[in-house]
Amino acid sequence: MEVTVAKSAGFCFGVKRAMDMVYAEADNCEKVYTLGPIIHNEQVVEDLEKRGVYAIDSPADLPEGEEATVIIRSHGITKEVFEELERKNVRVVDATCPFVKKIHNIVQEKKSEGFEIVVVGSASHPEVQGICGWCGNDCTVLQTPEEAENFRYFGDKKICLVAQTTFNYKKFEDIVDILRKKSYDILVMNTICNATEERQTEAGTIARKSDAMIVIGGKHSSNTQKLYEICRNECRDTHFIQTLDDLDLNLFQSFRSVGITAGASTPNNLIKEVQSYVREQ
């Protein structure tokens, strides 16, 4: 069986940076918390808990009066939550991905200049929630072409459009085209991370050439879900797994070629484990 592993599979720059920061803090501090799971990977979160790093949902969950280190994950947080952390007796380590931080600065600046802000992404995703918080939550979030078709703006402000860093690039282009056809005055800021575009393009290319495709990542990982959608459109036998335990190799016995890709929160050792196991069959 021929097995092709995407070169772009696994930790992206922002996730690797955050992981390096959290493990460094775990080695040097007694009380360490992350605002939400540091990444969407249950195995990594469990490993961190063994090292004394615990995920909390909000600053309100911090024990009163306890000196601690709080790590902001790569997704980023709202301005309001950031200010709440500053009022606490804690040391803040900001592991927000620099590409996400750039979007925070854009929406804050453009909002102050009088722009209407539109964010292309998933409204329920922590990254998008954080972005919205840096323009006072006075913005519109669009996730699908249908939502873009239904979008109506009757104001006289210029629109500034940004995107979730892990959004599907093709869908982003479709949404931009729909809004431009409405003749709005739009400043388009393509803030999709280059690594995301490369990962999605490579995944689609491998899926087209493979009899079956394996996509590895956390079930709550937005970028992994998008990879699955892209691969599924190109290869009918696409399988989404979190760990090797989810892989039924009986399904692959009749295939001559299998492709493997993984989301930005997937550790390299897990990718290698799946790759080796498939090749041995």
pLDDT digits (tens, 9 = 90+) for 35-57: 999 988 888 889 999 999 999 99
Closest CA to 257 of 228, 234, 241, 273: 234
Domain boundary residue, one of 165, 188, 211 = 188
How many folded domains does the chain comprise?
Answer: 3
Same-domain check for residues 177 and 224: no
Per-residue pLDDT of 181-195, as tens digits, reads 999 999 999 999 988
Same domain, yes or no: 202 and 255:
yes
Q: What is the pLDDT of residue 279?
A: 84
Domain boundary among 188, 210, 229: 188
- Please give the positions annotated as active site: 127
Say whether both 81 and 103 belong to one domain. no
Same domain, 223 and 263: yes
CB of 176 within 8 A of CB of 151? Answer: no
Backbone phi and psi for residue 185, each to the nearest 5 degrees, phi listed first: -85, 100
Of the residues 58, 80, 96, the one at which a domain ends = 96
Same domain, 66 and 109: no
Residues of the chain with pLDDT under 70: 281
C-alpha to C-alpha distance for 123 and 19, rounded to whole angstroms: 25
Same domain flag for 230 and 153: no
CATH number of the CATH domain containing 56: 3.40.50.11270
Q: Which helix H or strand E contains 205, and what residues bound it?
A: helix 194-209
Considering the domain architecture, whether residues 64 and 83 belong to the same structural domain is answered as yes
Would you state the pLDDT for residue 41? 81
Tell me how far apart the alpha carbons of residues 249 and 265 are, in angstroms, rounded to a whole number.
Answer: 23
H helix or E strand, kind and range, residue 104: helix 98-112
CATH code, 155: 3.40.1010.20
pLDDT for the residue 253: 78
pLDDT at 277: 87
Tell me which residue range forms the domain holding 142.
99-188
Dmax (CA) of the chain: 62
